Amino acid sequence: MIPIENFLILSALLFAIGFYGVMARRSAILILMSVELMLAAVAINFIAFATYLDADAFSGLVFALFVITVAAAEVGLALGIVLRLYRERRTANVDEADSLKW
């Protein structure tokens, strides 16, 4: 059996890469991809802890499914916003979307 530390290290690396991507990038699409990496890291943590520490092992899996569902909804909504931004401003740069007035 693979030790839980391996999953936690993988999750920490994915989360760190995603966090760096959110902080360093200016393109809205790349920021969305970085947020998805962070959500994948959270889902890996939930599944790892559910498998290794929980007796019935379903509570962590249910939370992981909720994370995946929220990630899918977030991508759909955010892509709609990015497309609207691109149509209005001709760029997907988040620095161009600093005002609420269109």
User: Residue 58 CB: number of other CB atoms within 10 A?
Assistant: 10
Comparing 77 with 89, which gets the higher pLDDT?
Answer: 77
User: Can you tell me the mean pLDDT for 42-64?
Assistant: 82
Q: What is the DSSP letter of 55?
A: S
Domain ranges in the chain are 26-91
What's residue 88's pLDDT?
82
% of residues, the chain, pLDDT over 90: 41
Comparing 31 with 92, which gets the higher pLDDT?
Answer: 31
> What residues contact 39, with CB distance under 8 A and at least 6 apart?
67, 68, 70, 71, 74
Residues facing 82 on adjacent strands? none
**Is pLDDT of 102 > 70?**
no
Q: Can you tell me the distance from the alpha carbon of 28 to that of 9, in angstroms, rounded to the nearest whole number?
A: 27
User: Residue 17 CB: number of other CB atoms within 10 A?
Assistant: 14
